[in-house]
Amino acid sequence: MPPRLPYLLDTSILVVLVRGGKLGRYMEDQYHLSAHPSRPLISIISVGEALKAAKEFGWGENKINTLWELLGNFVWVGNQRREILESYAEIAHYCEGQMKPAKTKPQNDYWIAATAKVTGATLLTTDKHFDDLHGKFIDRIWIDEALGKQ
């Protein structure tokens, strides 16, 4: 079954796209993120995370400007909608209450997953935090960062 459009981009995808390189080109070739008629979505949480990452990575003005340009290409989804708030609670409860403690996730991932669930978007990510939510709450495509080293 093909992924549901639009895509929701995880923060890890934003970082890869700003950095460019082989993995960024692979993602663009595979998913046509900049040219797809259905513009990808990003959670407002990912915007904050990406800006924080830019500070942590010591990105200079040029790279931060590239990040802002990239962010302008996507549809931002806030987390103030009732459906997102309720989905956040449901996903966090599932992860923290019904799963083993080792399976809990960073709080921001609950918000991103809730956004994917409510929008019906397929989450694109390079991290494994969403694996156990795939098929239960969300659809996700995991992209192996090793593809950028080939």
Residues 41-72: pLDDT tens digits? 999 999 999 999 999 999 999 999 999 999 99
75-119 pLDDT, tens digit per residue, is 999 999 999 999 999 999 988 876 665 566 788 999 999 999 999
Q: Which fold has domain 7-145?
A: Rossmann fold (3.40.50)
Please tell me which residue, 43 or 33, carries the higher pLDDT value.
43
Are 140 and 71 a contacting pair, CB within 8 Å?
no
More confident residue, 35 or 145: 145
Residue-level pLDDT at 4:
62
Establish how many alpha carbons lie within 13 A of residue 113's alpha carbon, considering only the half-sphere containing its beta carbon: 28
Beta bridge partners, 9, equal 42, 124
Instruction: DSSP letter for 148, please.
Output: G
